[in-house]
A and B are shown apart, each in its own frame.
Chain A
C-alpha cells in the first residue's frame, strides 16, 4: 500500500509492505523494517534498535518524547509502479523529472524514436547534471519542457508512446 504522509509539514511518499512478523516501510529509496504490536490504546513499533509507543489523537501522533501533526494526504492503494502496469505497447506514458532543476538540454524532439535508457532531457540543479532517460523503447509524442525552463520534482517532461512489439 502506498500513501503520502504529512508529518509536521513534511510530505513523504510511503510504501508499506506487510511481511512475516511485521512490515517493510519504504520511503524514497530507504527501507525500514518495523514490527508493530497493538496495545490497549496505543501501538508499539519496533524499528531499528528502538521501540516507540504511539497514540493517535485527532491528527496528532503522540510519542513518549514528542507530538507530531500527522495527515494522510493521499492513499493510492496497492499496485506496482505507474509506468509498468497499465502501459502496454502503444500506450503513452509520462516521463517525470527526478528532481527540481533547470532544463539545460532537450535531447529529443516529437517523433524521435528512443531506446530504453536514452537521454530525453538533462536537468541541472546545484551544479549537478541529471539525465532523465526513456523508461522503455518507443517514440516521443510530446516534449513538455523547454531549455532554460525551471521545473519542480515529479513534473511531466515528456510523453513517450511505447513501441508495439514487432512481428511477434
Chain B
C-alpha cells in the first residue's frame, strides 16, 4: 500500500476521500485554490498545498500545478474525486509518467468512456443494447436531418466529447433541427473543445438507472442499481437504491450487462454504467469513469466502502469482496444540497454560511463540504452537501428524508432544500413513478412559495416588528414593550408615515 495520497479536489468529496484514506493509515495531502484558503476540506487533510488562483483553470483543473503539488508533497498516489481532472485521460497518463498511482481507471479505458461514440460502439459489439442512433459524428445539418427522419422524432443531439448533460439538445420536429444542431455544436465546442455531435432517439418518460461496478485485475463486482431519474437540465438531484422499477430478474440482467461491458473495454477500478429504462427495456447511455457523487447510497445499503476498494485496487491489493459476498439491506436515498435558489429559477447563491446544523441520528449520513462560517465561492460547483438516509424500505426512507430535510439548517446562502421538500411530497414520487423530465413536467420548482422553517421564522419576526410598530421607527428601536392596545390597519399606516428615513441606517445599537 502506498503512503502519501494527494487528493486533487475540494469540498465534500475531498473530505470523504480523506476520511477513508486516513482510516487506512495513508497520509493525506490536500490542495486548495486562492478562493479556498479557509475551505473546510483543508482541515480534513494532514497537509495542504496552495495550487493557484480561484478559477478552476488556474488550480483544480491545471495539470501542471497539480503535478507540481504532487512532486512537492512527495505523493505516491493521486485521488481525483469527481469532476475537475477525474476523467481526463491525459492527466491520468501524466500521473503514470510521473510515477504516481492514479486511483481510477487506466487512461485507455477512460479515453474510450469519454468518447461517447466509441463507448456506444464497444458496448454494442459486446451485445449491450444501445439506444437507436448513429455511431459517427454528424458533419452537416443535412446529414443530421436524414438520420433523424430515419430514426424518427423526437431525437436528441449529444456531444461526442460531452458529459454532465452539457451540449445535449432535444429536437421534437424537423423544423427545430437546424437551430438545435448549430447551438449544440457551439456549446460542445465551448465546453469540450470539440464540436462533434451524434444523435439518438429521444426516449420520452424514460428512467435513468445505473450500475456501480468495481473491477480489479482478477475479479469484478456489480452492485444493486441506483435510480437517478430526478434531474433538472440533465443534472441529478435525487438518487436512490434500489430502483422502485427494477425487479430481481431485470436487476441481474443490468448487473451482468454492466460488468460485461466494462470488462470488454479493459476497465479497472470503480466505474458506473448508465442505462435508460423505457417500457421495461434498458439501453446503454454512458460510462462514468470515476467515483460518482451518489456513491454513498450504494455504501449505505451494502456496507462496502467504495473509496477503500478504489484505493486497494489502485495499490494492487485487489478487491476485498466478491459478488457472492455482497448483501443488501433496506433502501437508501440521497438529496444533493446545492447553493442555489429554487424560488428564483435555481440562481446560484454563493456567499457566507452564517448558520449551519446537520440532521443526525440513525440512518442519516451527511457528506458536507461546509460548516458555519464557511464561504461558498462562486467559482465551483454549487454542491455543498449530500444528505443521505437509509431505512428499512422506500416509504420509511422518504419519511426519514423529509424529517432530515426539515432538520437541516443552512443559513446565509439559499439552498435547494425547499425543492427537495416539495418533490418528496409529490404523489408521483411517493409511488415511485419517476422519469427524467418529471421536475420540469410537474413544474415542481414553479409551485414553490416558501423556503422552509428558518425563513418562516424570519418572516414571523418581520411581521412582529411591523405589527408592534418597531419597524416604522427606523433602524434603531428603543427598548420598550409594544403597546398592547389601539391597534388597527389605519393606526399602522399612520405610524408608517412618520417613520421611514428619520434615522440614518448607520446608527445601530
Residues of A within 8 A of B (CB): 1, 3, 5, 7-10, 12, 14, 16, 18, 22-23, 25, 27-32, 34, 36, 38-43, 45, 47-48, 50, 52, 54, 56-59, 61, 63, 68, 70-78, 98-102, 125-128, 130, 150, 153
Contact = CB atoms under 8 A, between A and B. Distances in A.
A70 B465 contact: yes
Contacts of A47: 456, 459-460, 463
Contacts of A48: 450, 456
Interface string B450-491: 110001111111111111101110111101011110010100
A141 to B, nearest CB: 27
Contacts of A127: 380-382
B455 A16 contact: no
Given A16-B462, A25-B462, A150-B378, 5 more contacts: A47-B463, A70-B465, A73-B508, A77-B501, A125-B378
B37 interface: no
Dominant secondary structure at the B interface: loop
B354 interface: yes
Nearest to A129: B348
Contacts of B414: 28
A125 B348 contact: yes
B499 interface: yes
B479 A70 contact: no
A10 B380 contact: no
A73 B339 CA distance: 25
Interface string B335-365: 0000111011011111100110000000000
B450 A5 contact: no
A128 B508 CA distance: 37
A1 B471 contact: yes
A57 B492 contact: no
A23 B466 contact: yes
Dominant secondary structure at the A interface: strand
Given A9-B355, A30-B449, A77-B500, A38 B484 contact: yes
26 contacts: A3-B462, A12-B455, A14-B462, A16-B466, A22-B463, A23-B466, A29-B344, A30-B343, A34-B459, A38-B468, A48-B450, A71-B475, A73-B505, A75-B471, A75-B474, A75-B500, A75-B501, A78-B500, A99-B350, A102-B379, A125-B348, A126-B340, A126-B348, A126-B378, A126-B380, A128-B346
Interface centre among B378, B456, B462, B471 (most CB of A within 10 A): B462
Interface of B: 54-55, 339-341, 343-344, 346-351, 354-355, 378-382, 411-412, 414, 448-451, 455-468, 470-472, 474-477, 479, 481-484, 487, 489, 492-493, 496, 499-501, 505, 508-509
Contacts of B381: 126-127
A127 B462 CA distance: 34
Q: Across chains A and B, which 7 residue pairs bring their CB atoms closest together, nearest first?
A: A36-B467, A34-B463, A125-B378, A77-B500, A43-B464, A125-B348, A32-B459
B354 to A, nearest CB: 4
A152 B382 CA distance: 16
Contacts of A99: 347-350, 378
B461 A70 contact: yes
Contacts of A22: 463
Contact of A72 (B347, B378, B458, B470): B470
